A = this chain, B = another copy of it.
Amino acid sequence: MPLPKSVRRFSRGSDVNELPFRPALQSPLHDFLAPKSIAVVGASTDPTKRGYKAMLGLIKDGYPGAVYPINPKIDMVLGVKTFPTLESVPGPIDLALICTPAKTAPGLMEECCRKGVKGAVILAAGFRETGPEGAKLEQMTLDTARAGGVRIIGPNTSGMFNLHHKVNLLALANVKPGDIGFISQSGNMLLSLALEAEHNGHVGFSTYVGPGNQTDIGFNDYLEYLGEDQNTRVATFYVEGFRDGHRFLNIARKVTREKPVVVYKSGSTEQGKRAASSHTGAFAGSYEMTVDLLRQFGVSVVHNSDEILPVAEGLGLMQHAHGKRVAVVSDGGGQATIATDRLTEAGLELAQFSENTRRRLAAILMPQASLVNPVDVAGSTDANPALLAECMEIVAADDAVDAVFLVGMFGGYSIRYAEHLLGGEMRGAESMIELANRVDKPMVIYSLYAPIKPPALRRLHEAGLPVYSSIEHAVRLLAALAERGAYLAHVADSTPVAGVSSIATIEGIFARARAEGRDLFEFEAKALLREHGVAVPAEEVVSDASEFAGIAGRLGDGPLAMKIVSKDILHKSDVGGVKLDLRGEDALRQAHEQIMASCRSRAPLADLRGVLVTPMAKKGVEVIVGVMRDPVFGPVMMFGLGGIYVELLKDVAFRAIPLSRYDAQSMVNGIKGHKVLDGLRGEPAVDKEAMVDLLLKVSSIAAAYPQLAELDLNPVIAYSHGYAIADARVIVDQAATMDHAAS
């Protein structure tokens, strides 16, 4: 079967030749996910039992290895002789499928260890998910397995299959071997994709695993395995929750250079589970953060469940596009408009054709055709559908085109217009296949006839050119191809910036704060920044009114701001602890008196250290720069529009620390509000380079001080040159030690 060029290109190796990661089959999972022998513990003659179904799946699919049904009470299952125990099996056992109830697990695991079984799938529920008793049972099983070197899939799992090795332990009918490796925390989601694939008729799977309770093997191990598995061209995950997300990202960083990784993360609307002290901290564990971090490491995130299979199929076949400029070729104006709308919404661009391309199109199309993108053949192909392939060839030859999107009724000409057009459609399909083999640009096909699968569409699909029945799904794929292309293009220069060492005086500041069980004062937070090269406005902490003398000489004669300094006051404004726009020493003294009086009366128990005086920041664009330690993904930076809009708009970008320069740039340019940074309504653009520099410095600081639990610079006022940090807040991790920095 001829495959399009993009497919063959992949099997020759990736475009990114200088990458350190080369699969060396280091994952121990190969031994039992592609087993040479399988024991089915609890094999059964009852057709409703998993111990029967698994046997049936192995036999029907023609599994070539040894199969050992284990059941002391019966002699044969489906004509295969049973064994009373694992140990009574004559040969070695790579994989044991355990179909018996939870309480049998520890005993069976001991048997597995004695027999030298490499991996066991424990299907039963009744472990950790049911409470403390079950958790004990699970821990006992795990301890036994660890001691004996047996790896565990599950427990509480729907099972696994590896179709290229004919290991179909789920006995799913009508699934075919194919490119998609799938790890799913929902068994229903596997069934759903399998049925969609059956309906699709062309897409297939490599390995499926339900990780279940992940007592031993977890997402990270499966990702590593799928990254190495030669039969998997796209690693696909349905994830309800990550445990060690930090490690997942680090493995994804390697795998995504070689092949696409697709993640659907459920729980997009779950409420945050902890009350955070900072604005940034409030986003910990959020869906938005998770998506940004996954994308940072090249993962293709899909947001709708019905997009998982279309996107995975297309990424598996075509891998990536070199850019986001799409050429649309269409035989119906209406659907060309829909395609244009969806492409634009997805952040893709309509390619601008060269003069030559337009001339070549004009030479083969009727005068009423539209030669600018989207191309509308306007009837030119009614009598000759193969002309669509010629249009695709012409636009694909244009250097300004990164991907070609055929939109309309191809495949249905012979049904709608005249039967004799079938020949032209088949010739057109062959030309498209030949074109896809020759040109290193994805060809994505939407046809309104896809639901009824006419011959030309079947031929395209068979040859590895997927055919979509939804414009929306086809565009999601085009977006994923372009996003992956952009990732691969910049991945070489995504080295994190060099770290910095902590400074003794700052360590002292943290130590004092901890000793007093408090967070950093604003002036301390600013000292931390200043010591590490961040521009911080001049300021003075004043505890006695006499210190105002001559302050204009030190802070300039512009208007000043004054804020209370107290470890006990979180919301300074609420207790009258802030005065703005102060001019002259008299005003300062009066404000000082008022602040102290107000705080004493409204926060009588607060320890008042004095006031911080600093020049008022000039007007500019308010942004927020933040740091948090996500319990799952580790240290994370945040950037976005500041002020009250942080919470309202959630227009913020996240990246795992340490940042590369590319990361910082993509944060600044990636927020929806980036137009504000570029200068709305004739305002000057802000100094984005200064923002990038600030992000990189804060990233280094966060890496150097594990005691820094959360940081909010909010607002930072961004100007056309530089910025002013108008407020700085550092939450101290009262427990963290230097050891944490290593994790």
Contact = CB atoms under 8 A, between A and B. Distances in A.
Contact of A332 (B187, B409, B648, B649): B187
A416 interface: yes
B267 A335 contact: no
A425 to B, nearest CB: 15
A175 B416 CA distance: 13
Contacts of A416: 191
A14 interface: no
Contact of A471 (B305, B344, B452, B470): B305
A412 interface: yes
Nearest to A333: B186
A237 B337 CA distance: 15
A644 interface: yes
A467 to B, nearest CB: 13
Nearest to A452: B195
Interface residues of A, number: 68
Given A187-B332, A574-B682, A682-B574, A451 B269 contact: no
A448 interface: yes
B448 A188 contact: yes
B449 A195 contact: yes
Interface stretch (A320-328, A625-633, A673-681): A673-681
B644 A334 contact: no
A243 interface: no
A335 B47 contact: no
Contacts of A130: 368
Contacts of A184: 334
A470 B306 contact: yes
A341 B192 contact: no
A472 interface: yes
Contacts of A240: 333-334, 337
Given A341-B267, A676-B644, A681-B647, A304 B188 contact: no
Interface string A7-26: 00000000000000000000
A151 B676 CA distance: 53
A332 B186 contact: yes
Given A451-B196, A644-B680, A648-B675, A269 B188 contact: no
A88 interface: no
A198 interface: yes
Contacts of A344: 269
A437 interface: no
A595 to B, nearest CB: 19
Interface string A430-461: 00000000000000000011011000000000
Interface string A159-197: 000000000000000000000000011111101100110
Nearest to A267: B337
B304 A266 contact: no
A408 interface: yes
A355 interface: no
A452 B334 CA distance: 30
Contact of A472 (B187, B306, B335): B306
Interface in A188-238: 188-189, 191-192, 195-196, 198-199, 238
B451 A188 contact: no
A416 B172 CA distance: 8
A333 B682 CA distance: 52
Interface string A469-489: 111110000000000000000
Given A306-B472, A449-B195, A473-B306, A188 B335 contact: yes
B191 A448 contact: yes
A341 B306 contact: no
A660 interface: no
A409 B647 contact: no
A646 B308 CA distance: 35
Given A188-B335, A191-B448, A240-B333, 20 more contacts: A186-B332, A188-B332, A188-B408, A188-B409, A188-B448, A192-B335, A196-B451, A198-B452, A240-B337, A266-B334, A267-B337, A267-B341, A268-B345, A269-B344, A304-B472, A305-B335, A305-B338, A305-B470, A648-B673, A648-B676
12 contacts: A48-B417, A186-B334, A188-B332, A192-B448, A198-B452, A240-B333, A305-B470, A306-B469, A574-B682, A648-B673, A648-B675, A648-B680
Q: Which A-B residue pairs are the 10 nearest by beta carbons?
A: A186-B334, A188-B332, A192-B448, A199-B451, A269-B344, A306-B470, A48-B418, A266-B337, A268-B341, A305-B338
Interface of A: 47-48, 125, 130, 184-189, 191-192, 195-196, 198-199, 238, 240, 266-269, 304-306, 331-335, 337-338, 340-342, 344-345, 368, 379, 408-409, 412, 416-418, 448-449, 451-452, 469-473, 571, 574, 644-645, 647-649, 673, 675-676, 680-683
